[in-house]
Structure 1
Amino acid sequence: MDLSALADFNLVAAHGGFGKASRFSGRPKATLSRRVMDLEQSLGVRLLERGARSLRLTEEGQVLHERTHGLLGDILEAGELVSAGQTSPRGYLRVSAPVLFSHTLVGRLAAGFARRYPQVRLDITAEDRNVDLVEDGYDVVIRVNPKADALLVGRCFARDDMLLVAPAALPRPSVSCDGEIAEVPAVALANRFDKGPWHYQDGDTLGTVMPDVRLRLSSLIMIRDAVLAGAGAALIPRSLLQRDEQLAKLSIWGRMPDRPIELWALHASRRLVSRKVTAFIDYLCEAFPDQILGHGFSAD
């Protein structure tokens, strides 16, 4: 199999068409089309269904793309580095990151990474869905509290605390002598059923409240703003409560010890790991030297 033709096929498959692949790579559409046709002839199967205005992978083309595009990218990158005598990361790097982390920190992190590694084209998508690296074409996924996965490996680069916070005007319930749990008006995530109770720790003191959820919102930023506006108590990461004017309007009742927050950067668990993937994960770890998300980051 011609690896160059296979690389051209994966380029077209990744971008969804010859035109987009041509604009991304700077190579003529006719050349890409001819190379893909040569690959189809050598394999004896059709890899692409070409319509008047669209292009899609055949079943055989989908299998070939899923099985080869990651490893082929690593092989081609290694060959380029060896032939050029260079060791700096380069190439196209796709990353999936949680929406909240993306909206609060990723812009500055991405800019710093781009300055350090100008030969890497970084593409970061903000999304909360559980993506598949192979099927969705990502090199790295950033996940919060990921479940163990034999197909993925990576590193925890930052941690955060989940806090129970309330408007400053909302009195904290006192501990009942008869063991009854006090109810408090609350705001919660719309996509997570959380009927409580909420167990929190304030220093050496343990407390429990039952949330009376009166408002459900789909974003932690929206929840924070609703609490600031007096809507009720809520669970909010410490990293979202950094400004003095916010803290002045809130009462932090305690930390949620049973709800740790860990951010992991994960990649496929194959033996050959791309230099650009290693560089990106190392950069994230350097950015949070104490692994505390709420302290911001220090990498250039």
Structure 2
Amino acid sequence: MDLNALADFALVATNGGLGKASRASGKSKATLSRRIAELEEQLGVRLIERGPRGLKLTEAGEMLMARTEGPMHEVEEAMTATREGLSTPRGRLRIASPVLFSQLAMGRICAGFCAVYPEITIEVVGEDRMVDLVEEQFDVAIRINPSPDSSLVGRCFARDRLVVVAAPSVSMPRAGAVRAVPAIVFSSFQSTNWTLDDGRLILEPVPRLRLSSFLMIRDAAVAGAGAALLPQSIAWDPLTQGRLVQWGAVSDVEAALWVLHTSRRLASPKVRAFVEFICDQYPEGSLVLEG
């Protein structure tokens, strides 16, 4: 049975006529009349008598109204409760995030988010691989410089840049020709120069240490093992403490962090709330939180 037709029948019966029902609901009299006719055809009985003095419920119509009035109110109340419930962020939020960002920031961010939205529980999976949000049932993914994907939407919430740093004990080469410097690099490093500040200084890194994470590279640089190419956000604390010195920034290279989900139109309240929250954590659009 068509619940819309049943609801329109109840609307007409309650208001005592097509005209009043039309004014009360904003639906046209033609639509209401058609719905009732369809319902009568489905049931095989006449529900409303149409006479010169207006509409009157038949015995079958009165019986149907008596039997369905309560349940229809319950359905309406249930739908209202569902709409109101879904407007409040709640439930489990599953997030895929790069390992390093997870280690450095997601604990703080998620704790703050749960304090604001106590009806949400969070699961963060720190992985550098490209997860499938739908197949793996993730609500949100945080990605660095994501490729365009028509199935995902989101916002860029912060940017970072690559800088060359070294301990104060390591001599900074003078600008000019390409300068070879002892360097700490990733395990997968392939020989390439570091061009800083639009060509002011060009460095040829000579690997002394090959390490597999930015945190290890940073700590080795602080210990004086050589120059290192790091995201500025990773080097920020030792830079402000004077344990590292910034030699320059790599030209035209930037890391943009995006928070992505599968659909803007159908995004749940918990997803919308998280997107807004993480963007608010970086009001200047930079991963470096000064002060």
Task: Give the TM-score band, short-chain normalised.
Answer: 0.5 to 0.7
Question: Which residue identity is paired with 1:229?
Answer: A
> Unmatched 5+ residue regions in structure 2?
1-77
Question: Which residue identity is paired with 1:267?
Answer: H
8 Å contact 2:238–2:244 — kept in the other structure? no
8 Å contact 2:154–2:264 — kept in the other structure? no
1:248 is matched with which residue: 229, 242, 252? Answer: 242
1: CA distance between counterparts of 2:290 and 2:105? 8
- Kindly provide the CA deviation profile for residues 61-108 of structure 1, in whole angstroms up to 9, marking residues without a partner as x: xxxxxxxxxxxxxxxxx9686355662111211001111111111111
2: CA distance between counterparts of 1:112 and 1:265? 17
1: CA distance between counterparts of 2:254 and 2:159? 8
Structure 2 residue matching 1:136: 3-state secondary structure: coil
Give 2:10's aligned residue: none
8 Å contact 1:288–1:296 — kept in the other structure? no
1: CA distance between counterparts of 2:173 and 2:246? 13
1:218 partnered with 2:212: yes
1: CA distance between counterparts of 2:102 and 2:164? 23
Question: Which residue identity is paired with 1:105?
Answer: A
Structure 2 residue matching 1:283: 3-state secondary structure: helix
Give 1:94's aligned residue: 94
1: CA distance between counterparts of 2:200 and 2:290? 29
Question: Which residue identity is paired with 2:129?
Answer: R
Question: Which residue identity is paired with 1:200?
Answer: L
1: CA distance between counterparts of 2:258 and 2:80? 30
8 Å contact 2:181–2:203 — kept in the other structure? yes
Give 1:175's aligned residue: 175
Query: How does 1:224-243 map onto structure 2 within 5 Å?
Result: 224-243=218-237
Structure 1 residue matching 2:251: 3-state secondary structure: coil
1: CA distance between counterparts of 2:236 and 2:82? 46
Give 1:193's aligned residue: 189
Give 2:155's aligned residue: 155
Larger Rg: 2
1: CA distance between counterparts of 2:90 and 2:96? 19
1:184 is matched with which residue: 181, 185, 206? Answer: 181
Q: How many residues align?
A: 214
Question: Which residue identity is paired with 2:116?
Answer: R
Question: Which residue identity is paired with 2:152?
Answer: L
8 Å contact 1:188–1:194 — kept in the other structure? no
Give 1:140's aligned residue: 140
Q: 1:296 to 1:283 in 2, by over 3 A?
A: farther
- Kindly provide the CA deviation profile for residues 227-247 of structure 1, in whole angstroms up to 9, marking residues without a partner as x: 011111111122123336874
> Unmatched 5+ residue regions in structure 1?
1-77
2: CA distance between counterparts of 1:296 and 1:111? 21
Identity of aligned residues (%): 43
Structure 2 residue matching 1:130: 3-state secondary structure: coil
Q: 1:246 to 1:188 in 2, by over 3 A?
A: farther
Query: How does 1:16-165 map onto structure 2 within 5 Å?
Result: 82=82, 84=84, 87-165=87-165
Give 2:287's aligned residue: 293
1: CA distance between counterparts of 2:151 and 2:91? 23
Give 2:46's aligned residue: none
1: CA distance between counterparts of 2:129 and 2:144? 11
Question: Which residue identity is paired with 1:232?
Answer: G
8 Å contact 2:178–2:201 — kept in the other structure? no
Q: 1:169 to 1:94 in 2, by over 3 A?
A: same
What is the TM-score when the length of structure 1 is the normalising length? Answer: 0.65
Question: Which residue identity is paired with 1:216?
Answer: R
Q: 1:241 to 1:111 in 2, by over 3 A?
A: same
Give 2:202's aligned residue: 208
8 Å contact 2:194–2:204 — kept in the other structure? yes
Tell me how far 1:205 sits from its aligned partner.
Answer: 6.9
8 Å contact 1:181–1:208 — kept in the other structure? yes
- Kindly provide the CA deviation profile for residues 162-189 of structure 1, in whole angstroms up to 9, marking residues without a partner as x: 111112122222234xxx4221111112
2: CA distance between counterparts of 1:247 and 1:265? 31
